[in-house]
Amino acid sequence: MEQLHIITQTLLHLLLVLTLISTSISDPLADNFLQCLSQDPNVTTSDFVFTENSTEYSSVLQSTIINLRFSTSTTPKPLAIVTPLTYSHAQTTILCSKSFNIQIRIRSGGHDYAGLSYTSYDQSSFVVLDLRELRSITIDSDQNSAWVETGATIGEFYYWVSQASQNLGFPAGICTTVGVGVQISGGGFGTMIRKYGLAADNVIDARIVDANGRLLDR
């Protein structure tokens, strides 16, 4: 089996986490944040922003919660859940959060047993940047490479690699419901590790959004 290198067309979540802390949460804060997001007249925030007043808020929040201890009535909830449809949506979310000193929790495409991506442990105001809509996968068998967005799960990635070629594989973890973004930033330990190393060792390019809202590549 040949080795498949990965190019992550992604928003690497470790680079997105902000350490800005808000001392309190209030309705005006939520209103200001939402107003900031909707400054672009061509953007309809209702398509990708969910607040507690949204009918889909609970289902979107609970979609990747596996550990029910973090899904109680007393668990701190996000001010809003943003599921960007484009990179610019993610950039705007970061800039608006930074403007109002709101923390960001980043969710890739998979589950999170520890609850780090959807709750607050210090009661700070926060929003969830859920990247599940950014999940495209493009395989280039001739170049032994792939562009993968971070919202895809590693299982989805394995599937499309297998559909593209029976002679290609990618070294990552064995838990197929984990998001690609976590595999890349956290290592990606799997059965091919001894010969091909970690998932992170096979990244040859990446697109990221940094804490200043800039879209960068290598």
Question: What's the DSSP call for residue 211?
Answer: T
156-200 pLDDT, tens digit per residue, is: 999 999 999 999 999 998 888 888 988 888 778 888 989 999 999
41-95 pLDDT, tens digit per residue, is: 766 788 899 998 889 999 999 988 888 888 888 999 999 999 999 999 999 999 9
Neighbouring C-beta atoms of residue 153, cutoff 10 Å: 23
CATH of the domain at 25: 3.30.43.10
Task: Write down the number of H helices and E strands in the chain.
Answer: 6, 11
Nearest to 85 by CA among 168, 166, 149: 149
18 lies in the same domain as 125: yes
End of a domain among 81, 98, 130?
130
Q: Are strands 137-140 and 126-130 parallel, antiparallel or unpaired?
A: unpaired
* Residue-level pLDDT at 67: 87
43 lies in the same domain as 109: yes
115 lies in the same domain as 150: no
Structural domain of residue 6, as residue ranges?
2-12+135-216
Strand order in 49-50's β-sheet? 49-50, 81-82, 126-130, 103-107
Question: Residue 128 pLDDT more than 90?
Answer: yes
Nearest to 79 by CA among 46, 103, 112: 103
* Residue-level pLDDT at 156: 95
90 lies in the same domain as 139: no
95 lies in the same domain as 192: no
End of a domain among 89, 113, 130?
130
* Residue-level pLDDT at 184: 87
User: What DSSP string runs through 55-123?
Assistant: TTHHHHHHTT---GGGSSTTS---S-EE--SSHHHHHHHHHHHHHTT-EEEEE-SS--TT-TTT--SS-
How many Å apart are CA 181 and CA 154, to the nearest integer? 9
End of a domain among 80, 99, 130?
130
